[in-house]
Amino acid sequence: MDNDHTSIADVKLPGNQGKEVRLRGWIYRTRGSNRMLFIVLRDSTDIIQCVGSRDDLGEVVFDTARALNIESSISVHGKLNQDSRAPGGYELHLSAVEPVSPAERFPITKDQSEEFLRDNRHLWLRSRKMNAVLKVRSTVTGAIHDFFRSRGYYEFTPPILTPNAAEGGSTLFEVKYYDRKIYMTQTWQLYAEAAIFSLERIYDVSPTFRAEKSKTSRHLSEFWMAEMEAAWMGYREAIEVANQEIKFIIARVLERNRSELEILEADASRLEPLLSREWPVITYTEALEILKEKKMEVTWGKDLRTIEEEALMENFDTPVTVIQYPKEAMAFYKPVEENANAPGPVAKCFDMLAPEGYGEIIGGSERDTDISSISKALEKEGEKVENYDWYLDLRRYGSVQHSGYGVGVERLIAWICKLENIKDAIPFPRTLTRVTP
Ligand code: 4AD
Ligand code: MG
C-alpha cells in the first residue's frame, strides 16, 4: 500500500480499535436509508463494512455516495470500530467518501448461471470466489517452484510450438507456421529429455494445449502442466518425488490460504490428515481386481476410463498412484517393466489419482532408452520415425536411465479448492465450446 492508504487485511489486525485510516477499493455491496449508508468495501485482500450517517458525511457527500453503484472505485476515510458482528471484527465509521470512478450498473447480479458468469469472466474475476481461487493458484505455482528449486532442480523452459507429437496425434492443435503446419505443445517431455543431459534435474510450470473433443468438467484445451524430468532416476523414485511434491503444495496452501478455503467451502480438514499419511501405490492389475469386486469388468489391456477411476477411488480417501499400465495402451516412450506380476506386458509408468472424484492429477513414467522398441512403438502410433530422429539421438550419445511426470495444475487446484468444474481453476478457460472472453 502507499503512504496514504492501508489494505483491508492490515486494518483488520488486532489493536486497531479507534484508529483513523484511509482505504481504497471497490463497492462490493451497498444499502442504506435516508440517514444511514452501509458500504461493504473490497480490495484485493479482504472486505470490510463501512457505515456513514448523513450528519457525519454532510448532505452532498452522503447523497453522492448513496447514488454509487456496486463496483464503483472509491477512496474512504474513517475510524475503526470493533464490532463482533462485523466480519473480521471491525467496522469503519466513515468521515469521507470520494468516488474515484463511478461504475455503470454492474451486469452481474445474484443467482446467475455458471455460463453467464463465464461469459463475463473479465468481470467475475472480481468475485470473492475467483479471488480466492486465484490466490490458491498463486500459492500452488509458487510452491512448485520452491519445491524443485530447494531440491537442486533447474527451471527449464520448453518451446510451445513444436513439429512433434508426444501424447498422440488426436489432440494436437495445428498451427499455420509460415508455409508449413506445426503444433501447439502437448507436453514439454521430448525437449526435457534432451535437457537432462545438460542439467540432469529440471522442472517447469508451463502452458499446454490439447484439442480435447469431449465436454467434461475435467478437460481444458489450454491448461498448465508442472513437469519434472530427472537423469539417473527410475519411475519408483519419481513416484516418491511426486508424493512429496503434492504434500508440499498442500502444506503450503494450508499455511497460507485458510481463509480462501473457507470462502470456497473447501474444508481444510479434508486436506490436513493427508500430510502425515502414506499414499498407496497399486498396480493396474490390482485396480482391475478392485473394480471386479464392484461389478465393473475391465478387459485387461484397456486404459481406465473416468467412470472406472471414480469407482476405484471410492475405496480411498488419499491420492493413489496406479502403476504398470498395459504397455499396449501407453505412449511410445514408456518402457516395459520386465519384473511385473501381470497377465501381459506392462510399462514402467504411473498415474496419480486424486480422491473425492477429481481423477488423474499426474501422469508419468520412466523413459524407454531402446531405439528399436521406441521406433516400433512410434510406427504403431502412425508416426514417421524419421521425424523423431533428433529424439533418438538422445539414446545414441550417452543414454542414461531417466524418468519424469506432469502435474495437471488445474486438476490439482480443482481438487484442493473443491471446485465443481475445472474451468474455475483457470482465469480465462478455453474449451471445445469456449474461447471468450
Ligand atoms: O498424463 P499426461 O498426458 O502426461 C503427459 O503428458 C506426460 N508427457 C507428462 C510427463 O511425463 N512429463 O498429462 C499429465 C497431466 C494429467 O495427469 C492431467 O492431470 C493433466 O496433465 N491433463 C489435463 N488437465 C486439464 N485438461 C486437459 N485436457 C488435460 N490433459 C491432461
Ligand atoms: Mg495421463
Q: Quick check: is 437 in a domain?
A: no
Ligand 2: distance of its center to the CA of 375 in Å?
21
What are 351-383's pLDDT values in tens digits? 999 999 999 999 999 999 999 999 999 999 999
Q: Quick check: is 3 in a domain?
A: no
Mean pLDDT of 274-282: 98
Give the pLDDT score at 3: 67
Mean pLDDT of 91-102: 98
Total domain count for the chain?
A: 2
CATH number at residue 327: 3.30.930.10
Ligand 1: distance of its center to the CA of 239 in Å?
15
Quick one: which atom of ligand 1 is closest to the CA of 171? 28
Q: Quick check: is 346 in a domain?
A: yes
What are 125-163's pLDDT values in tens digits? 999 999 999 999 999 999 999 999 999 999 999 999 999
Band of residue 89 on the pLDDT scale cut at 50, 70, 90: confident
Give the pLDDT score at 14: 86
Nearest ligand, CA 186: 1
> Does residue 419 share a domain with residue 376?
yes
CATH number at residue 48: 2.40.50.140
> Does residue 34 share a domain with residue 123?
no
> Does residue 207 share a domain with residue 333?
yes
Grid coordinates representing 315 are 475405496
Q: Express as a percent the part of the chain with pLDDT over 90.
A: 93
Of 238, 323, 326, 340, nearest to 282 by C-alpha is: 323
Give the pLDDT score at 2: 55
Range(s) of the domain holding residue 319: 118-425
What is the pTM for the complete model shown? 0.97
Give the pLDDT score at 150: 98
Instruction: Round to whole Å and give the CA distance between 38 and 43.
Output: 16
Sheet containing 320-323: which strands, arranged edge to edge?
154-155, 201-209, 222-231, 402-408, 359-366, 349-354, 320-323, 281-283
Is ligand 1 within 6 A of the CB of residue 204?
no
Please count the other Cβ atoms lying within 10 Å of the Cβ belonging to residue 125. Answer: 14
Band of residue 88 on the pLDDT scale cut at 50, 70, 90: confident
> Does residue 267 share a domain with residue 395?
yes
> Does residue 122 share a domain with residue 93?
no
Mean pLDDT of 291-312: 96
**101, 131, 155 - which closes a domain:** 101
**69, 101, 133 - which closes a domain:** 101
What are 12-31's pLDDT values in tens digits? 988 999 999 999 999 999 99
Residue closest via CA to ligand 1's atom 27 equals 219
Quick one: which atom of ligand 1 is closest to the CA of 422? 25
> Does residue 50 share a domain with residue 162?
no
Q: Quick check: is 36 in a domain?
A: yes
Mean pLDDT of 171-183: 96
> Does residue 225 share a domain with residue 97?
no
Q: Quick check: is 247 in a domain?
A: yes
Is ligand 1 within 6 A of the CB of residue 310?
no
Q: Quick check: is 370 in a domain?
A: yes
Q: Quick check: is 112 in a domain?
A: no
pLDDT score of 1 more than 70: no
Q: Quick check: is 74 in a domain?
A: yes
> Does residue 180 share a domain with residue 310?
yes
What are 35-84's pLDDT values in tens digits? 999 999 999 999 999 999 999 999 999 999 999 999 999 999 999 999 88
